[in-house]
Amino acid sequence: MPDTGRLLNLAKEMISANSENPPGYEKDVAAILKDHLESEGLSCRSVGSSERPNLIFSTNDDAVGPLVIHGHMDTVPAGNLDQWSHDPFKAEVVDGRLYGRGACDMKGPLAALAETMILYSEKNYDVPLVLLCTSDEESGCSGAEVVADSGFLKGVKYGVCAEPTGLDVLVGEKGMLWTKVAAHGKAAHGSRPGEGRNAILLCQRALDVLTQHDYHSEPNDLLGQMTINIGMIQGGVKINVVPDYCEASIDMRTVAGQTVESIMDEMNQVLADAGMDESISIEYVHGKPAVITPDDALIVRIAQDVVASVTGARNPLTAATYGTDCSVLQPRINILNVICGPGSIEQAHQPDEYIQISQLEDAVNVYLTIAERVLQEKSP
């Protein structure tokens, strides 16, 4: 059984350490985790910069085993503090809920993972359990990329990502492609628009054709359909000047059968077919692939059974619409992941973010039992 006081104190301490991203400063949270787990006899390896470290904990002297449990240390900004009725960095407990920025996404889940490591280590298993805590997940998973490049997780077969799912088991996630669409026009006086070429109007036309195009994909019930969102647009210098430049940022969430290269090729072809390829350019900003773990994989079967035994619920397998570090760990290191964490994704990135303390306790029991079941399956 988890030590609820120890679990809650760690979660509160991490929430009180501001790690908003941007700007990105996970150092204080990393120090809290390192002190907490090293004091319990666990080893810690730091990968990456000292200001934005990624931590790899092991129950057996830096060794790795078949399973890694993982989460991230950064949070999105708290935003407008007037919208909060609880201070985002005071980690208040009210009516069985822990409030604060990162309570569910994902310092509360990180505390549950840390408690799992302590309980597992107390049983003195020969097979190590590994905990990965990453930086910069919220802005592109660059921390997970650093860990993948390090090779320290080579040989790990399975992963459990503790992003908030209400402890439902998710077996994949949509991919992501961020692009910048730039329109190049000609400046002129606002009173003589016919002498210029309005880049804002050009950009608007380009966005219309790009967002209305039916991009090629493969049917997949879990991932569903591709989504497109125009997140930012800016152009012009003054109201009485015909703008010669405008740019927009597009967020695409990709599905099966789509790659960064294939979507970029289609976007450029769409512009060419519309006769806009000379005035419009598309710049790649960031991308990650969609990932799916087969539903007959060992980690999926174990996770479903364990969640059902702890919570009494066995819900249908689904996939995440949002991105996680699985999009790096799965294709780069061949780690088959499930996403299963306490808290609701509806609370993530919101004012008055909270997590139920009882679900944190359930999460520890889920993670510990999954680790023990993987250990049993992998033992001769």
- What is the Cα–Cα distance from 132 to 144, expressed in whole angstroms? 9
- What is the Cα–Cα distance from 271 to 88, expressed in whole angstroms? 45
Burial class (CB in 10 A: 0-12, 13-18, 19+), 294: exposed
pTM, rounded to two decimals: 0.92
Residues 261-279: tens digit of each pLDDT: 999 999 999 999 999 999 9
Residues 78-137: tens digit of each pLDDT: 999 999 999 999 999 999 999 999 999 999 999 999 999 999 999 999 999 999 999 999
CATH for 4-173+290-378? 3.40.630.10
- What is the Cα–Cα distance from 336 to 171, expressed in whole angstroms? 9
Residues 135-166: tens digit of each pLDDT: 999 988 999 999 999 999 999 999 999 999 99
Is the confidence at residue 58, as pLDDT, over 70? yes
Reference 163, options 36, 337, 370; nearest CA is 337
Reference 341, options 118, 149, 103; nearest CA is 103
Q: What would the two tokens of residue 221 be? A: 């019930």
Q: Which residues contact 7 (CB under 8 A, 6 or more apart)?
A: 111, 112, 114, 115, 360, 361, 364
Domain spans, the chain: 4-173+290-378, 175-288
- What is the Cα–Cα distance from 157 to 77, expressed in whole angstroms? 33
CATH class of the domain whose range is 175-288: alpha beta
Strand partners, 56: 45, 132
Strand partners, 144: none
Q: What would the two tokens of residue 275 be? A: 């006769």
Percent of the chain with pLDDT strictly greater than 90: 95
Residue written as token pair 């996680």: 324
Residues 178-229: tens digit of each pLDDT: 999 999 999 999 999 999 999 999 999 999 999 999 999 998 999 999 999 9
